[in-house]
Amino acid sequence: MIAPLLWLLLSSLGLLHPASTGVHTWEGRAPVVVTHPSEPTAGDTVTVGIAGLPHKARKVAVIAATERYPAARNGTLWQTSFQPRTEGGPLNLSVRFVVGGREYSAPGGVVFVKPKNPTP
């Protein structure tokens, strides 16, 4: 009689705290994210610099909306460049990186992309 109840209890605990596989929220110090230009225009190339990541961070990338842009290390700074795929408006940035075999995500901020002026 107790075996089925014990199995049910253990099963329900597994549902409450499932083994997480995937991207984890970074709980450490937030990285510093700087864009150049600070207010890009739609269609222009944006360079993103990332600092303040853990020393052992690997596979660093910027997620802009839903697109992933891998970053390259330049000393203590990570950099990537891309053309935002938007006609204008707010662009959410986040930083993804791997430390100790686990992938983490940290918020990077929001950049306002100016719409391209229509030519007359």
Whose CA is closest to 109, among 42, 43, 34? 34
Amino acid identity at 88: G
Determine how β-strand 32-36 pairs with β-strand 102-113: unpaired
Domains, the chain, in order of start with CATH, read 21-113 (2.60.40.10)
pLDDT digits (tens, 9 = 90+) for 35-94: 999 999 998 999 999 999 999 999 999 999 889 999 999 988 999 999 988 888 999 999
Q: What is the mean pLDDT of the chain?
A: 85
What pLDDT, on the 0 to 100 scale, is given for residue 86? 87
Global pTM exceeds 0.85: no
- Residue in the block written with tokens 């937030």: 30
- Contacts by residues 84-87 (CB-CB < 8 Å, ≥ 24 positions apart): 84/40, 84/42, 84/46, 84/111, 84/113, 86/42, 86/113, 87/42, 87/115, 87/116
pLDDT at 13 over 60: no
